[in-house]
């Protein structure tokens, strides 16, 4: 039989399929649709030190083969997560990762150290790339110096698997990846959303309350694939690839480009069962192509 | 109430007037219990401009036929495409979504709908009647030609119409209907354009009776996963798709 | 009647609709389909100092709501342009702009000074952003220093309208725009293609001979609009907006975001008559919205 | 030859076997002159995965009916969607595109087609016959069931078949047909999978007779604007859509 297991520097996944933060709630929202325990891992909502109301309505606009969002990290804060949500979801028999966001280094440190105490959370994903927060959430991810500084600070207080989520809104993503690798990141996930904008020509108004927002969905897949490929050749820690994955074929493309595991985001909105279908599709691909271990496909793009 | 992703089969599309049509669709599995005010999220296939699903209220449920009826206004690509479906076509739904209107008992209830906001009111009227309430529905439309499905409402109570051009019923907006001054009600329920719902809310506040409104919003998922559909409430931002679409006006910042 | 005329710092267009370089050949390819004289201007193919064979086959891959290309500036060189092509196309009664590309500053200088001599070419578009050339074509557009240096050098030898085409593959496009404005650019056009990649999961091969290529089409529109909006608030010279424009509605969106004129690229492949339809559609919009001058719409996005 | 963008109306779709079908489409305006080897670029509407047009060879032209016939193999989204069109549907074409096969006179011509590469050969056979040539066509297919439209070819000359499984005609590939060793020809024309065309080219070079092949490529525009469709030739990269799709093998780097 084919072996879908993935080992991300100590974090082991039963298969390479995870969910993308902010698109999968706390997992519970999908209980009616799928058996979450069949996934390699789930990334829960972006979590911050303090409660955040997020941005005003409207927060969403459809775009060609994609969508823009301006949720703005609405969440009840890390304490609420630890006390109320964690007890409710820790029963899942899959890896639960918390996406940690912040506006200051202190925020990140506080939040990460609180999550560090939770037995059933084997890893965090450090979100240094959210484009929807005014006070610097994205700025951290757009320069090597600031990206390194936040990873360095969090590394000191967080001793499990530290995944760092990179912003695609940069000139050279592999430089940023190298900088966070150097500070002890265990893996990198990419890409977060591309900064975009939508306008209603008739009303002459922006479609989002924040004017600009984060672009996701199949439209960003070519950019995401390119970045995974670039980063793969630049660093030695594992890569988690995402951006527009809608089916197993897309997932395989990311793996061939260099991703050890993948995340599925926007596709969950269109088909809440997509994640388990992708697990099955990857299996089917491996059987058809006589690939024994999924790891054999990682970065296996053939270039003459 | 478990949410499902299922294929349905189109039984029948009925054109009501230039803009509106109903689509009756049958499930292959027995339908779960569906409450008035709930909605479905429909996948529009074979269309280049509909990446996300389209939320649509449940207009009616026929458990015997195992079918749901949708009441749809042609707006853009998605709803226009739905308006080309024919008997036998497939339609994929995520459903049933959202909360529901409250069902009082032995009360005098007033339902006010405008535009395609009338969609959830028919099924609500049925439930209200079955719970022993007296039902009065006012539909506000532009012109006589838009006053459709009158007989359906009649089955569950009294049906009144206002038209903007005065071609049928009282002239004006539904909140200007004479019955609002001539009679008293215990409950009011509304769905339609926001200005209309706000007028109904004002009326309810004046009369000091409960008022429930059904809000629309931009939705990506429809089941609470994306937080794209919030509306401000007195207790902070709430998801229209899970904590609504039905809200008591007392909870809103209106 | 509505007035569609646009004045781009001295370069006057009969309407804001131009074509994007590399997607409109030398104009002649469209003679069968439209009356080119009805356009505000045409941007001819990327032209370099020397003949270029371009990249090997395959050069194209379809993507969700877009395409990747890896043409690689195939052209016969500027001398051939001046001697053979220019005489053939100079009869067009519209603005013919030459897209000038290069690998070294000397290349740009040489090419620009030869084009400077052509009477019927009122402007060049300096392409410092082509992602398909290995030797630095894009590098110029991805740092303020190098962008400034090439504009400065070309400004000295080119004394007509100097439009500079910006790369979207940067962290902060408004910084680059400011840098080229400071060196005397008369206008900026944006965006060039986003760097992307496509993979065939079945064959495990990249779909382009160059592995990565330039993404264009509606999928990039949200990013392009956002960049036009950002640059509009950063500089004072006119902006020419492009990226995924398929119809008049899209064009209006770019104008509202701050573009004085627009270019249409990929859409020409799908409907070779799209450009004149957009001119008509803009007219119709202006009549419907009672807008007298197209310039009244530039940057007229309403923000509460 | 002026290129046009025009809507056509589907007259008829004929399923030839599991994979292949023909689509006969009628122009609303009188058709321009169309040469054998030319192609059309078709807009596939109502499909999320076909952003660009799809190039398809012109299989046949009926000036009396003012119609064009396409011969299509179901490959992906685009061709599958075309395979659902029914009489009365519209189809937008950019056409006629590309160059053409040479038409000699009073010669013994050999046409070799494989897969959906047979598409342009029928119309070529007609032109060759009309110019007074003797026409022999060999179709290479997998199995007897794939040997379709035999009668159509027969109208213009001799039709021979090779099947990979030996279920009809000679067993093997079309270049292994016995006629190639038993007879001599003056001209050869081919269209199909590249390995097959290369085998035909080798045969032609051995026999020292002219050979024209029709190449495929990834196309964005189809009319020379994008330079996405180049093929290397002895005189540099050439556009398959304007300088081809038909090339004399002497010009290629094969
Ligand atoms: C809970 C809920 C229940 C609904 N019930 C019904 C119903 O029963 N019958 C019915 O006809 N319509 C209903 N709607 C509205 C319906 O979802 C939209 O008309 C539909 O999504 C438009 O899709 P489209 O592709 O036709 O138009 P698009 O091309 O997507 O949009 C056309 C215009 O409508 C606006 N719009 C698009 N989607 C939405 C949305 N989700 N909410 C608000 N505005 C939007 C766009 O901004 C645009 O201006 C409901 C909406 C919600 C949120
Ligand atoms: C000049 C020319 C004439 C042609 N004539 C015919 C014809 O008469 N009948 C016919 O059935 N087919 C013909 N083809 C091929 C036809 O264009 C492709 O089969 C079609 O574009 C596939 O579209 P799709 O959406 O079905 O598949 P897709 O989903 O787009 O692609 C499926 C597979 O086919 C490959 N492919 C897609 N487009 C092309 C292309 N343009 N060239 C080569 N490979 C491609 C893809 O890489 C992919 O692997 C011709 C191609 C050219 C260039
Ligand atoms: C509605 C929405 C909310 C998101 N919230 C977060 C978040 O809180 N933290 C984060 O790191 N990324 C967030 N993202 C980005 C996704 O995790 C993912 O990086 C991006 O959507 C690209 O993947 P996709 O194309 O599969 O959706 C969000 C995306 C969407 C669409
Ligand atoms: C096939 C192709 C070739 C291109 N060649 C050039 C070029 O030579 N010079 C240039 O500046 N941009 C070139 N571009 C980029 C376009 O001019 C334009 O910036 C980009 O395609 C975005 O616009 P669109 O989405 O409307 O196509 C090319 C684009 C395509 C698709
Ligand atoms: S639409 Fe996603 S949370 Fe409501
Ligand atoms: S397909 Fe565009 S030049 Fe040939």
Beta carbons of B140 and B112 less than 8 angstroms apart: yes
Closest CA to D205 of D253, D249, D150: D249
Answer whether D225 sits within 8 Å of C23, measured CB to CB.
Answer: yes
Q: Tell me how far the alpha carbon of residue C100 is from its chain's centroid.
A: 11
Mapping DSSP to helix (H, G, I), strand (E, B) and coil, where does residue B157 land? coil
Residue B183 CA to residue B177 CA, distance in Å, equals 11
What's the confidence (pLDDT) of residue B44? 96
Terminal C-alpha separation, chain D? 30
D46 — contact with chain B (CB < 8 Å)?
A: yes
What's the confidence (pLDDT) of residue C228? 98
Average confidence (pLDDT) over D200-207: 94
Average confidence (pLDDT) over D83-108: 96
Percent of chain A topping pLDDT 90:
93
Task: Find chain B residues with C-beta within 8 A of A45's C-beta.
Answer: 227
Closest CA to A7 of A289, A240, A229: A240
Torsion angles phi and psi, residue C127, rounded to 5: -90, 95
Beta bridge partners of A7: A12
Average confidence (pLDDT) over D110-132: 93
Subunits next to B (3 or more Cβ pairs <8 Å) are A, D
Beta strands in D16-127 (DSSP E): 20-27, 39-43, 54-57, 60-62, 67-73, 90-97, 108-114
Name the domain count of chain B: 3
User: Residue A256: which residues within 8 A CB-CB, separation 6 or more?
Assistant: A297, A298, A299, A300, A301, C199, C201, C204
User: Rounded mean pLDDT of chain B?
Assistant: 94
A134 is in an annotated binding site: no
Q: Is the model's pLDDT at C130 over the cut of 80?
A: no
Average confidence (pLDDT) over B206-231: 96
Percent of chain C topping pLDDT 90:
92
CA distance C214 to chain A (A): 9
D153 is a domain residue: yes
Residue C87 CA to residue C174 CA, distance in Å, equals 38
CATH number, domain containing residue B70 = 2.40.30.10
Residue C262 CA to residue C256 CA, distance in Å, equals 11
pLDDT-derived band of residue A137, with 50, 70 and 90 as boundaries?
A: low
| D220 Cβ closer than 6 Å to some ligand 6 atom | yes
Has A219 been annotated as catalytic?
A: no
Q: Which of C187-196, D90-99, D177-186, D239-248 has the lowest mean pLDDT?
A: D177-186
For A:64-123, CB contacts with C below 8 A are 64-66, 68
D13 is in an annotated binding site: no
Closest CA to D40 of D15, D1, D76, D68: D68
Residue B99 CA to residue B231 CA, distance in Å, equals 15
The CA D251 to ligand 6 mean position distance, Å, reads 19
Residue B60 CA to residue B70 CA, distance in Å, equals 7
| B215 Cβ closer than 6 Å to some ligand 5 atom | no
What's the number of CA atoms in the CB half-sphere (13 Å) around residue C151?
Answer: 31
Average confidence (pLDDT) over A143-171: 95
DSSP secondary structure, A275-301, as one string: HHHHHHHHHHHHHHTT--BGGGGTT--
Percent of chain C topping pLDDT 70:
97
pLDDT in tens, B165-182: 989 889 989 998 888 888
Q: Is the model's pLDDT at C267 over the cut of 70?
A: yes
What's the confidence (pLDDT) of residue C133? 55
Structure tokens that stand for D206 in this block: 């051995």
Task: Find chain B residues with C-beta within 8 A of A61's C-beta.
Answer: 218
Q: Is the model's pLDDT at D103 over the cut of 70?
A: yes
Task: Find chain D residues with C-beta within 8 A of C54's C-beta.
Answer: 227, 230, 237
Q: Is the model's pLDDT at A136 over the cut of 80?
A: no
CA distance A59 to chain B (A): 5
B75: containing domain:
4-97
DSSP secondary structure, D198-218, as one string: HHHHHHHHHHT--EEEE----
Report in angstroms the alpha-carbon separations of A41 from A84, A276, A287, A296, C297. Answer: 20, 12, 23, 20, 48
Q: Which of B230-244, C136-150, D194-208 has the lowest mean pLDDT?
A: C136-150
pLDDT-derived band of residue B117, with 50, 70 and 90 as boundaries?
A: confident
Residue A224 CA to residue A237 CA, distance in Å, equals 18
pLDDT in tens, C244-261: 999 999 999 999 999 999
Structure tokens that stand for C27 in this block: 């104009």
Closest CA to A163 of A154, A174, A172: A154
Q: Would the ipTM clear 0.90, i.e. be above it?
A: yes
B159 and B205 belong to one structural domain: yes
Beta carbons of A38 and B237 less than 8 angstroms apart: no
C300 — contact with chain A (CB < 8 Å)?
A: yes
CATH number, domain containing residue B227 = 2.10.240.10
Structure tokens that stand for C250 in this block: 């899209």
D220 is a domain residue: yes
| B122 Cβ closer than 6 Å to some ligand 5 atom | no
Task: Name the closest ligand to CA C242.
Answer: 4
Q: Which of D54, D218, D221 to mutate to test the pocket of ligand 6 (most atoms within 8 A of CB)?
A: D221
D102 is a domain residue: no
Average confidence (pLDDT) over C24-38: 97
Beta carbons of A274 and A260 less than 8 angstroms apart: no
pLDDT in tens, A242-274: 999 999 999 999 999 999 999 999 999 999 999
The CA C59 to ligand 2 mean position distance, Å, reads 15
Torsion angles phi and psi, residue B140, rounded to 5: -100, 120
B102 is a domain residue: no
Q: Which of D40, D79, D190, D240 to mutate to test the pocket of ligand 2 (most atoms within 8 A of CB)?
A: D79
Residue B248 CA to residue B245 CA, distance in Å, equals 10
Q: Residues enclosing ligand 4, CB less than 6 A?
A: C 20-23, 45-46, 69, 71, 73, 99, 127, 130, 165, 192-193, 214, 216-217, 220, 242-245, 264-267; D 226, 228
Beta carbons of C47 and C96 less than 8 angstroms apart: no
What's the confidence (pLDDT) of residue A139? 75
What's the confidence (pLDDT) of residue C147? 93
Task: Find chain D residues with C-beta within 8 A of B46's C-beta.
Answer: 46-48
Beta carbons of C71 and C59 less than 8 angstroms apart: yes
Average confidence (pLDDT) over A96-122: 95
Residue C186 CA to residue C177 CA, distance in Å, equals 11
Average confidence (pLDDT) over C170-180: 96
What's the confidence (pLDDT) of residue C140? 85
Answer whether C211 sits within 8 Å of A300, measured CB to CB.
Answer: no
Residue A74 CA to residue A78 CA, distance in Å, equals 12
Residue C161 CA to residue C184 CA, distance in Å, equals 10
What's the confidence (pLDDT) of residue D23? 97
What's the confidence (pLDDT) of residue A141? 86
Cβ-Cβ pairs closer than 8 A, A with B, add up to 90
Among B49, B223, B228, beta carbon nearest to A272: B223
Atom of ligand 2 nearest to the CA of D119: 8
What's the confidence (pLDDT) of residue A132? 54
pLDDT-derived band of residue A134, with 50, 70 and 90 as boundaries?
A: low
Scan for tokens 């299989």, then name that residue. D59
What's the number of CA atoms in the CB half-sphere (13 Å) around residue C46?
Answer: 29
pLDDT-derived band of residue D50, with 50, 70 and 90 as boundaries?
A: very high
B128 and B169 belong to one structural domain: yes
Scan for tokens 């076909």, then name that residue. D50
Beta carbons of C123 and C163 less than 8 angstroms apart: yes
Average confidence (pLDDT) over C113-138: 82
Last residue of a domain, one of B71, B97, B123: B97
Average confidence (pLDDT) over D210-216: 96
Beta bridge partners of D172: none
Residue B241 CA to residue B229 CA, distance in Å, equals 7
Closest CA to C169 of C229, C106, C220: C220
What's the confidence (pLDDT) of residue C129? 79
Task: Find chain A residues with C-beta within 8 A of B50's C-beta.
Answer: 62
Residue B168 CA to residue B147 CA, distance in Å, equals 8
Residue D136 CA to residue D125 CA, distance in Å, equals 8
Torsion of CA D155, D158, D161, D167, to 10 degrees: 80
Please tell me whether the overall predicted TM-score, pTM, comes out greater than 0.90 for this model.
yes
Task: Find chain C residues with C-beta within 8 A of D51's C-beta.
Answer: 62-67, 217-218, 270
pLDDT in tens, A3-58: 999 999 999 999 999 999 999 999 999 999 999 999 999 999 999 999 999 999 99
What's the confidence (pLDDT) of residue C137? 53
Bond preceding residue D202 cis, omega within 30 of 0: no
From C82, C130, C144, C219, the catalytic residue: C130
Q: What is the CA radius of gyration of chain C?
A: 18
Residue B47 CA to residue D177 CA, distance in Å, equals 47
Task: Name the closest ligand to CA B23.
Answer: 1
Closest CA to A41 of A89, A80, A100: A89
User: Residue D180: which residues within 8 A CB-CB, separation 6 or more?
Assistant: D110, D203
Q: Which of B173-187, C8-22, D204-218 has the lowest mean pLDDT?
A: B173-187
In CATH terms, is domain A6-297 a member of 3.20.20.70?
Answer: yes
Structure tokens that stand for A247 in this block: 């089916």
pLDDT in tens, B11-69: 999 999 889 999 999 999 999 999 999 999 999 998 888 999 999 999 999 999 999 99
B83 — contact with chain D (CB < 8 Å)?
A: no
Beta carbons of C254 and C228 less than 8 angstroms apart: yes
What's the confidence (pLDDT) of residue C39? 98
B103 is a domain residue: no
Q: Whose CA is nearest to atom 10 of ligand 2?
A: D72
Q: Is the model's pLDDT at D178 over the cut of 90?
A: no
User: Rounded mean pLDDT of chain C?
Assistant: 95
C225 — contact with chain A (CB < 8 Å)?
A: yes
What's the confidence (pLDDT) of residue C141? 86
From A82, A130, A144, A219, the catalytic residue: A130
What's the confidence (pLDDT) of residue A46? 94
Q: Is the model's pLDDT at A236 over the cut of 60?
A: yes
User: Residue C191: which residues within 8 A CB-CB, separation 6 or more?
Assistant: C129, C166, C167, C168, C173, C220, C223, C224, C227, C242, C243
Q: Which of B229-233, C131-135, D230-234 has the lowest mean pLDDT?
A: C131-135
């Amino acid at each position: 039989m084919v072996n879908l297991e993935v080992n991300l520097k100590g974090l082991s996944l039963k298969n390479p399929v995870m969910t993308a933060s902010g698109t999968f709630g706390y997992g519970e929202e999908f209980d009616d649709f799928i058996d979450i325990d069949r996934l390699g891992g789930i990334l829960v909502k972006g979590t911050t030190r303090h409660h955040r109301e997020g941005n005003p309505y409207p927060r969403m606009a459809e775009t060609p083969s994609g969508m823009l969002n301006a949720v703005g990290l609405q969440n009840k804060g890390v304490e609420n997560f630890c006390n109320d949500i964690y007890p409710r979801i820790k029963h899942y028999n899959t890896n639960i990762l918390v996406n940690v966001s912040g506006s200051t280094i202190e925020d990140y440190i506080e939040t990460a150290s609180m999550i560090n105490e939770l037995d059933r959370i084997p890893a965090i994903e450090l979100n240094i790339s959210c484009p929807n927060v005014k006070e610097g959430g994205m700025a951290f991810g757009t320069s090597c110096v600031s990206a390194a500084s936040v990873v360095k600070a969090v590394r000191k207080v967080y001793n499990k698997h530290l995944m760092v989520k990179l912003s695609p809104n940069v000139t050279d993503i592999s430089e940023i990846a190298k900088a966070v690798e150097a500070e002890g990141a265990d893996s990198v996930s990419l890409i977060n959303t591309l900064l975009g904008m939508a306008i209603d020509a008739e009303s002459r108004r922006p479609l989002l309350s924040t004017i600009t927002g984060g672009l996701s969905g199949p439209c960003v897949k070519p950019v995401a694939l390119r970045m995974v490929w670039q980063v793969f050749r630049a660093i030695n820690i594992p890569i988690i690839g995402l951006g527009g994955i809608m089916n197993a074929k897309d997932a395989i493309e990311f793996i061939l480009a260099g991703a050890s595991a993948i995340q599925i985001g926007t596709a969950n909105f269109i088909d809440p069962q997509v994640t388990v279908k992708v697990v099955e599709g990857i299996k089917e691909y491996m059987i058809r192509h006589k690939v024994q271990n999924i790891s054999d496909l990682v970065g296996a793009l053939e270039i003459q | 109430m478990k949410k499902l992703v299922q294929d349905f089969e189109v039984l029948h599309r009925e054109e009501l007037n230039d803009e509106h049509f109903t689509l009756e669709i049958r499930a292959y599995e027995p339908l779960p219990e569906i409450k008035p005010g709930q909605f479905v999220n429909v996948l529009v296939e074979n269309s280049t401009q509909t990446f996300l699903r389209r939320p649509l209220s449940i207009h009616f449920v026929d458990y015997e036929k195992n079918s749901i009826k949708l009441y749809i206004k042609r707006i853009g690509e998605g709803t226009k495409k739905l308006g080309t479906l024919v008997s036998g076509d497939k339609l994929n739904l995520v459903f049933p979504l959202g909360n529901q209107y409250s069902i009082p008992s032995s009360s005098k209830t007033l339902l006010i709908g405008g535009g395609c906001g009338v969609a959830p009111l028919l099924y609500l009227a049925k439930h209200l009647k079955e719970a022993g309430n007296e039902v009065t529905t006012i539909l506000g439309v532009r012109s006589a030609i838009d006053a459709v499905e009158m007989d359906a409402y009649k089955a569950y109570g009294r049906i009144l119409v206002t038209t903007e051009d005065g071609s049928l019923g009282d002239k004006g907006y539904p909140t200007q209907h004479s019955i609002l001054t001539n009679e008293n009600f215990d409950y009011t329920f509304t769905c339609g354009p926001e200005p209309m719902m706000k007028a109904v809310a004002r009326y309810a506040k004046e009369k000091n009776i409960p008022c429930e409104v059904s809000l629309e919003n931009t939705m990506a998922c429809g089941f609470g996963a994306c937080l794209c559909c919030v509306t401000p409430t007195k207790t902070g931002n709430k998801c229209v798709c899970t904590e609504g679409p039905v809200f008591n006006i007392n909870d809103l910042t209106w």
